[in-house]
Structure 1
Amino acid sequence: MSGSEAEAGAVRAFWERLGLPGLVDVHTHFMPERVLDKVWAYFDAVGPLTGMEWPIMYRAEEARRVGVLRGFGVRAFTSMLYPHKAGMAEWLNGWSADFASRTPECLHTATLHPEDGVERYVRQAVEAGARVFKAHIQVGAYDPNDARLDPAWGLLAEAGIPVVVHCGSGPAPGKYTGPEPIGRLLARHPRLSLIVAHMGMPEYTDFLDLAERYGEVRLDTTMAFTDFSERFSPFPVSERGRLAELADRVLFGTDFPNIPYPYLHQLEALERLELGDDWLRAVCYENGARLFAVTP
């Protein structure tokens, strides 16, 4: 388990140099212990979706993990959680509501799955104060255009609640991953606020296209640009100019605690894009703070 005082000091020095009050991390994972244990066991076993060694850098009990983020100066973070089958989402939403109630920095997170009752429990989560949803098309192995989800997407679009969606085909393609299903979804719900996880890795260009076409599409930096990801899914150098042009639609995300490198490396990977301090300020704090009304 990392998270030493020296590491915290280095992370804080990064955002202090930029004149920021801290960081907003839109892609961190907190979930019931028995679920997280299974996620970690999957990574430990070199799961088929990853096919590579993936040591969990921040493996610790929940309170310690929260403490690490606080030590880093993360002013707001999420509890990204997701069902891999029907019948889990509503239970996960109950857990995440409780976690948010006892963790002031956590943006109340909820999830969904194509199943009977999804509109009901999504509405309940919204009414209970959910501020962000997580949809994992790869792990859930579902079509985002499943008719059962349509009322829920409409409800979230109307409420203006962002959905962090893992829809890219990295680290391995799924039946419903890639830009085409998301493009069809946005054609029906153009006001749906989607945050494309991992910058849409590896279909970076296609998801940048969607962000340019739809004003409520954003992308998070989770694991993108790092040495780890650049080995198997490099971001095209030719697309860096588009990152600069979309400066107000890129959000900082890390995948904490399930990352195989120090938290600081995600920040360093953004800095070495050489897009300037204004871009870093927008990505690391300002965009997320504006979207989720985070105050200094």
Structure 2
Amino acid sequence: MTYLHESTSEAVEVRRFWRRLGLPGLVDVHTHFMPERVLRKVWGYFDSLSPETGGLPWPITYRAEEAERLAVIRDFGVRAFTSMLYPHKAGMAEWLNGWAADFAHRTPDCLHTSTLFPETGVERYVREAVEAGTRVFKAHVQVGAYDPADDVLDSAWGLLAEAGVPVVIHCGSGPAPGKHTGPEPVGSVLARHPRLRLVIAHMGMTEYEDFLGLAERYQEVRLDTTMVFTDFAERLAPFPRRARPRLADLGDRILLGSDFPNIPYPYVHQLEALERLELGDEWLRGVCHDNAARLFGL
């Protein structure tokens, strides 16, 4: 199915949103571009979700070929985005990093993204990625089923902290808990590497308040908005109303994330969900553009 025509009216809405705020566009730190056969497997997982399997139906709104997906996100006015990709077993990360380096080379508006896994050689290939100019890493504790505080990763975390390369990490227990999800393992990593620039994906869903606490404790910790506050997420794991004032206090360290293209609703709904928090235009400008622009030196 082709989405270029269908996205046109939505693009008008998205552009109206950021133009009203006086922004030059959006910066989305949580978007997925990966090898096609890997992405098809990710989509297959979401396609399998249903009440019968214990999950919410999860239709992929932007199921299209890579070129079409790029056209759509550019049409929205997203001036910088990422290629979040991640291994589910040893031996995948270095191959994924090679693909992502090539993708970034041919896609200049994509921030060069890399990933890692607790395995022999991880410090070497993380160092190589940093030396090659990677801008951001992705770590997925839930899918990878590993402890981020594993000693095998310690030197890699230290290297990334020293280099100042942000790491978007899915470490909360949503949409389903994993063996090593939750704030404790990440807290152990930060205790060893307090300057590590972790970006907590999905604001730590479902342990929102615990991860807000980590951001309040560690100045380099940030959170991304991916799916949070949307109608879909509010059914799955509502954000506690009592924690909203803390969002305002951390307004300079919250970054727009969307999970494009793997979302079960239109992209513009993420923006509308942020706006209806009523935290003000200055907060929205920071979240939707300025905070990430500052972090990545755009």
The answer to whether the superposition gives a TM-score over 0.5 is yes
SS in 2 for 1:253: coil
Residue 132 of structure 1: aligned partner: 136
Cα distance in 1 for residues equivalent to 2:166 and 2:224: 12
Shift in Å at residue 53 of structure 1? 0.6
Alignment of 1:22-41 (within 5 A): 22-41=25-44
Contact 1:18 1:281 in 2 (8 A): yes
Q: Distance in 2 between matches of 1:4 and 1:107?
A: 23
Residue identity in the other structure for 1:146:
D
Counterpart-to-counterpart distance in 2, 1:187 and 1:4: 44
Amino acid at match of 1:68: V
CA offsets per residue over residues 211-259 of structure 1, 9 Å max, x none? 0000000000000000000002000111110000000000000000000
* 1:50 Cα deviation after fit: 7.1
Give the alignment of 1:92-131 within 5 angstroms.
92-131=96-135
Specify whether residues 243 and 49 from structure 1 end up closer, same or farther in structure 2 by C-alpha distance, changes over 3 A only: farther
| TM, length-normalised to structure 1 | 0.98
Opposite residue 18 of structure 2, the aligned amino acid is W
Distance 1:169 1:90, change over 3 A: same
Is residue 2:47 matched to residue 1:44?
Answer: yes
Query: 191, 200, 203: which one pairs with 1:199?
Result: 203
Say whether the 8 Å CA contact 1:50–1:171 is kept in structure 2.
no
Q: 1:83 to 1:126 in 2, by over 3 A?
A: same
Distance in 2, Cα, partners of 1:116 & 1:180? 24
Contact 1:75 1:105 in 2 (8 A): yes
User: Offset at 1:23?
Assistant: 0.1
Counterpart of 1:88, as a letter, is M
Partner of 1:241: 245
**Equivalent position SS for 1:287:** helix
Query: What is the CA–CA distance in structure 2 between the aligned matches of 1:261 and 1:49, rounded to whole Å?
Result: 21
Q: Tell me the residue number matched to 1:222.
A: 226
8 Å CA contact 1:44, 1:53 repeated in 2:
yes
Separation (CA, whole Å) in 1 of partners of 2:293 and 2:30? 14
CA distance, structure 2, for counterparts of residue 165 and residue 49 of structure 1: 26
The separation in 2 between residues aligned to 1:21 and 1:232, in whole angstroms, is 33
C-alpha displacement at 1:49, in angstroms?
9.2
Of residues 3-12 and 149-158 in structure 1, the stretch that sits farther from structure 2 once superposed is 3-12
Runs of 4+ in 1 over 3 A off after TM superposition: 47-50
Query: Shift in Å at residue 51 of structure 1?
Result: 1.4
2:281 maps to which residue? 277
- SS at the partner of 2:165? coil
Q: 1:278 to 1:129 in 2, by over 3 A?
A: same
Q: Structure 2: any 5+ residue segments left out of the alignment?
A: none
Contact in 2 for aligned 1:195/1:219 (Cα 8 Å) = yes
Query: How much has 1:293 moved relative to structure 2?
Result: 1.0
Q: Is 1:177 matched up with 2:181?
A: yes
Question: How far off is 1:206 after superposition?
Answer: 0.2
Match of 2:290 among 282, 286, 290: 286
Contact map agreement 1:50 1:172 (CA 8 A) in 2: no
State the secondary structure of the residue aligned to 1:211: helix
Q: 2:257 aligns with which of 253, 256, 272?
A: 253
TM superposition score normalised by structure 2: 0.97
Question: Distance between the aligned counterparts of 2:86 and 2:256, measured in 1?
Answer: 20
* Inter-partner Cα distance in structure 1 for 2:179 and 2:154: 19
C-alpha RMSD over aligned residues: 1.2
Task: State the one-letter code of the partner of 1:278.
Answer: E
Query: Which deviations, in whole Å up to 9, do the C-alpha atoms of 1:16-63 show, x marking residues without a partner?
Result: 000000000000000000000100011111189971210000000001
Give the total of aligned pairs: 294
Alpha-carbon distance between aligned partners in 1 of 2:257 and 2:244, rounded to the nearest angstrom: 18
Q: Which residue of 2 aligns with 1:6?
A: 9
Q: 1:38 to 1:135 in 2, by over 3 A?
A: same
Distance, in Å, in 2 between the alignment partners of 1:35 and 1:50 is 24
Q: Which residue of structure 2 lines up, in the alignment, with residue 83 of structure 1? A: 87
Q: CA deviation at 1:178?
A: 0.2
Letter in 2 for 1:31: M
Counterpart residue number, 1:21:
24
In the superposition, relative to structure 1, how do residues 11 and 49 fare at CA in structure 2: closer, same or farther (>3 Å)? farther
Looking at structure 1, the residues matched to 292 and 219 of structure 2 have their Cα atoms a distance apart, in angstroms, of 15
Identity of aligned residues (%): 76
